[in-house]
Structure 1
């Protein structure tokens, strides 16, 4: 379990450090082993070449020293001390170097003419021996080279104990292994530092997210963000923006529900109270019928609000359909007929064609028309007039709602779309959400809204232009 935990660190820093070290080991170890074997092979070849060169050098010396005179003589002192002709170095050097090399010189009959003391007991070579051989002598393993002088019949053999080669191999092993043994821990520390340094932008991002205020619409900023982190930052900011938009839609929907359900609920309550207060069966039946009609309208309004909420969430973004604005307007006027009758305002509906179709969402367009008409009826003067006109232009369908109320000064028209905004001269007990709902419905259709002066001399003209799509 502990090994598995080590192989799978929990932190990104630990994973990167472990992966980098494993990659380095996977590269350096095979290279070190290959280099070690190549070095040993080259050392063996170099040592063999040195043995052969020593034999040939000894051959030249014998020829110049007229050593052929030794052949056939039995009284020659064949033992050549390994210290002969040399100063006496410290014991450590004699044991390390001088005793590990030697030579032999034989005549054609195989008799020893010259030999160092460490090789004097080694038997002469036979005719079938190879040039290079491995032989045992004096409890040591020797690497020997045999040089045969065909003209004189003399045989020269040089030898080297494997001890010296082992010393070289040990030195090579230390040379190749020590850097790894010493360097890997240092490399691990440096890799850890480099990984921490490289992951510092993530720490900065974490602090920025921790310090972010709830409900903030500001994007997360990361100065000098690495190229690899920029897509992550962009995706994160997009996700945060979508999240904030979703929360804003929830808040907007709650406010819209309260606004949209207030009128039908109040109407139903009034009709029920009237029915409960009367003893006349006819009035009771009329009051209950009106209450039932109001509750049915309330149910339709709830369904429309739910549809509008789905549009807000984008769930129905691919469900646009052909909508007849004239038919939707007729349905809204019929729905608002009790309010129109109670307001005493004259409502006129002007349409140049019997049908004006757009691509959109019927529930959103109905909410747009309903709120425009309710606002106009609420702000129109007593006994005044409201006009609704729908026409199809060259590039857009135009909806105009005109009233003769107090209107809105031009300098304050931009602010009326804010939620819960109410003008000081507003009539009724509205919550200031009507135009906000209108604006959101227009946004769903890429429509534009203009607040213009009314042709009645006072009041407001609201124009909505919905682009025509094929």
Structure 2
């Protein structure tokens, strides 16, 4: 029997992980399922990690901005409370100590500015820029913006204060600006606190994923090893319950293949055993007749023995030819030399070839022609063998002075042709019609010599052409009612 392990092992290698795993796969051979899953798990993780750093930076900037903005707000409010009016004069009464406290910062530089109602500078730094026209200030509301002063980026908080003067209400703008050093330091500290642990956690995650996949795929490795360690002739099904649920359909499909393989192996064993048994009988007869011929003294008896030897060798040759035909057809997956064939002409030629055999039994053999041409695509050698086996069976089982008729016509179903061979023989009982299609099976009680292969060959040829064989009754005498056999073969017209 052929070793089935390479085919099964190749399919499993396509789906199961090999012995060595890795993110990088070799250029030769199938990809590792382990590596495939690992790639799809770790690649998004490694791609999302830089994105998480960018998001963390933005969040850290937002977190670092909030407390320092509140500090700027307090400074703006403190300066606003120190603005005084005398008549129509506006001034900032900010003691020097307060100014020193306002500007006292080790990391950042603080700027402030007070602008009067006519745009004049009342106090503070004149280099601090004014708000843009599209960003108006509101009384009692602190607004924030980013700006630059002396080449440095600063964060500015500004508001409007309404003062009462002799000329009426006067708006005064108060601004406080601060460089961004402390904010950057706080944001960096937040990022370090979040990112640095990830450098430790990420390798641990990779190791845990690796370990988890190894444990998860362990049943697949065990299944692969069990299949590899099976004996060459072991076609027993794989235990589905021992496999993970995800590959149970795969195991079920393999079991179906194993069942078919087991049937094929058993069929081959039966074929070999039956063939050996069938060949043993004519060969033993040949040997016995040859031994008898050696003992004969008279020329007449020697001639009779030689005729028997010739007859036995003819039967053995026919049996060997049928065995070879059946084996060749059962091992043909696709029809070779599929050409356009005139089926009616093939039937007529086959009928002519069997005329001499029919005349020996005084059988009326004829082809029922309606002068039409029935063409199909098929293998001419196979179809010739089909006609020969049908006619051989019909003539062999039809008694002397009987009738055998060959007919080719269109079927009622479009695209199908029918080949019929009718005889006036003993017929086949309905309960035996399926069994006679089996190899070497012959109806009990029949005294006609035969191998039991003819109909099996016809069935195989019909199947190879996409058709089928039916065994029907042939009513050839209505009173009293008598039945022969009608072998009907359906063949599709086919395509080139």
TM range (shorter): 0.5 to 0.7
Q: Distance in 2 between matches of 1:443 and 1:247?
A: 20
Contact between 1:249 and 1:312, CA under 8 Å: does it hold in 2?
Answer: no
Matched, 1:450 2:471: yes
The match for 1:24 is: 45
Counterpart pick for 1:309 among 284, 302, 327:
327
Q: Unpaired runs of 5+ in structure 2?
A: 1-19, 26-30, 115-122, 130-146, 159-169, 412-417
The match for 1:463 is: 486
Change (3 A) 1:302 1:319: farther
What secondary structure, in the 3-state scheme, does the structure 1 residue paired with 2:80 have? helix
Change (3 A) 1:242 1:435: same
Counterpart pick for 1:388 among 404, 408, 416:
404
Contact between 1:246 and 1:313, CA under 8 Å: does it hold in 2?
Answer: no
Change (3 A) 1:274 1:133: farther
Change (3 A) 1:262 1:48: same
- Per-residue deviation, 1:422: 4.2
The match for 2:419 is: 397
> Under a length normalisation based on structure 1, what TM-score does the superposition of the two structures give?
0.57
1:340-419 aligned within 5 A: 346-353=362-369, 359=376, 360-365=378-383, 367-368=385-386, 384=400, 387-395=403-411, 396-404=418-426, 408-419=428-439
The match for 1:326 is: 348
Contact between 2:220 and 2:243, CA under 8 Å: does it hold in 1?
Answer: no
Aligned residue-pair number? 414
Change (3 A) 1:174 1:188: same
Change (3 A) 1:290 1:322: farther
Change (3 A) 1:421 1:306: closer
Q: Distance in 2 between matches of 1:455 and 1:223?
A: 62
> Under a length normalisation based on structure 2, what TM-score does the superposition of the two structures give?
0.55
Change (3 A) 1:237 1:318: farther
Change (3 A) 1:103 1:373: closer
Contact between 2:237 and 2:259, CA under 8 Å: does it hold in 1?
Answer: yes
1:93-108 aligned within 5 A: none
Aligned Cα root-mean-square deviation (Å): 6.5
- Per-residue deviation, 1:390: 1.0
Q: Distance in 1 between matches of 2:444 and 2:317?
A: 33
What secondary structure, in the 3-state scheme, does the structure 1 residue paired with 2:349 have? helix
Q: Unpaired runs of 5+ in structure 1?
A: 84-96, 108-113, 115-123, 136-141
Q: What CA deviation, in whole Å up to 9, does each residue of 1:61-94 have, x standing for no partner? A: 33149996879xxxx87488969xxxxxxxxxxx
Q: What CA deviation, in whole Å up to 9, does each residue of 1:146-200 have, x standing for no partner? A: 99xxx9xxx9976578456423432244346657865885698589879988999
Q: Distance in 2 between matches of 1:54 and 1:188?
A: 51
Q: What CA deviation, in whole Å up to 9, does each residue of 1:337-378 have, x standing for no partner? A: 9xx97xxx5544233349996645455455555555666677
Contact between 2:293 and 2:305, CA under 8 Å: does it hold in 1?
Answer: yes
- Per-residue deviation, 1:38: 2.6
Q: Distance in 2 between matches of 1:165 and 1:214?
A: 72
Contact between 2:111 and 2:125, CA under 8 Å: does it hold in 1?
Answer: no
Q: Distance in 2 between matches of 1:401 and 1:468?
A: 21
Change (3 A) 1:198 1:401: farther
Contact between 2:404 and 2:424, CA under 8 Å: does it hold in 1?
Answer: yes
